[in-house]
Structure 1
Amino acid sequence: MDRTMKIEFAWKDETHLLHLPEMDATHREFVDLLLRAQRAPDGELAQCLDSLLDHTRAHFKHESGMMSACGLSSRAEHEAEHQRILGELGRMRARAEGSRTAFVRAYLVEAVPDWFRTHLATMDSDLAAKYRQAFP
């Protein structure tokens, strides 16, 4: 993949906001860290993925607490999706360390933004609605 390729993915309030300030701030940070990893030179890619993984673990832990607090019925499915993504990010981190960056970059530019948009529009929007309903 050509690293000079224009990266189209960016935070957009009109499509990404869930109107829960803490959740929105966490999602914005995720997008910022993803963009940083997408743009990182090869020698910094593994370190950027470490930051993305650390953030994502904390992000998902916080969402699990929200799911528990509001009694989200789809919690098991939502958490399984979180574990799947953490596993993929961990494998990409290992590949970056092994200098197999082309595959990692394709994953970061194509797969992660697609996953994020879908996850946000489905599972996270459901969580946000249930949370607002439980805690108006």
Structure 2
Amino acid sequence: MRPSPIHTSTGVAAAVPQEEHSQPPATTGAGAEAGYSLGDAEMDHSHDEFMQLAQQAASAQPAEFAPALQQLLQHTQEHFEKEELRMHSSDHRLLNEHRAEHQRILGDMERFCQRARAGRSTMARAWVRDNLLDWFSAHVKTMDSALAAHLTDDSSDHG
């Protein structure tokens, strides 16, 4: 049986195996590298938690993948909500663009969680391993670093 394609905003198009009999290889994407420190304790802590949960999901045994991905989704929803509140309260000029990116990735995560809960986790696992971690790396280095700089500038203006 051929897996049904899923369309995501991150463009998953990789061929994935039909069966999940063994644990996947360790994460090797750009998201696996260290160096996400932005000098903002709250953001840095949340990013560390995200990486731990994403790597746990990527390496979870098949029976544990759906719950691990759900836990990652819940963390990410909370992370984004807190980040967006900080952007709003500091009048960050890129709030709408940043929020739209959060909504896009949460939509993808929710769709893959649904698939994983339904027992169709092969593509979801590949997406976490091959797309989500790379997206996260780029997001931290661009949008979140701009936010951290804005928050630093904002606090120095008022402090």
Q: What range is the shorter-chain TM-score in?
A: over 0.9
CA distance in 2, matches of 1:114, 1:49: 16
CA distance in 1, matches of 2:33, 2:48: 7
Worse overlay, 35-44 or 3-12? 3-12
Q: Which structure is larger by alpha-carbon Rg, 1 or 2? A: 2
Name 2:79's counterpart in structure 1: 59
Name 1:29's counterpart in structure 2: 49
CA distance in 2, matches of 1:21, 1:48: 25
CA distance in 2, matches of 1:99, 1:64: 33
Name 2:99's counterpart in structure 1: 79
Instruction: Kindly report the root-mean-square deviation, in angstroms, between the aligned alpha carbons of the 2 structures.
Output: 1.4
In structure 1, stretches of 5+ residues that fail to align are none
The one-letter code of the counterpart of 2:88 is S
1:19 aligns with 2:39: yes
The structure with the largest helix share of the pair is 1
Deviation of residue 6 (structure 1)?
Answer: 3.1
Compute the TM-score of the two structures, normalised by the length of structure 1: 0.92
Give the SS at the match of 1:19. Answer: coil
Matches within 5 A, 1:1-136: 3-8=23-28, 9-10=31-32, 12=34, 15-136=35-156
Give the SS at the match of 1:71. Answer: coil
CA distance in 2, matches of 1:3, 1:85: 25
Runs of 4+ in 1 over 3 A off after TM superposition: 1-4
The count of aligned residue pairs is 134
CA distance in 1, matches of 2:23, 2:122: 9
CA distance in 2, matches of 1:4, 1:66: 37
Deviation of residue 61 (structure 1)?
Answer: 0.6
Instruction: State whether residues 11 and 31 of structure 1, in contact with CA within 8 Å, keep that contact through their aligned partners in structure 2.
Output: no
Deviation of residue 11 (structure 1)?
Answer: 5.0
Compute the TM-score of the two structures, normalised by the length of structure 2: 0.79
Identity %: 37
CA distance in 1, matches of 2:32, 2:137: 11
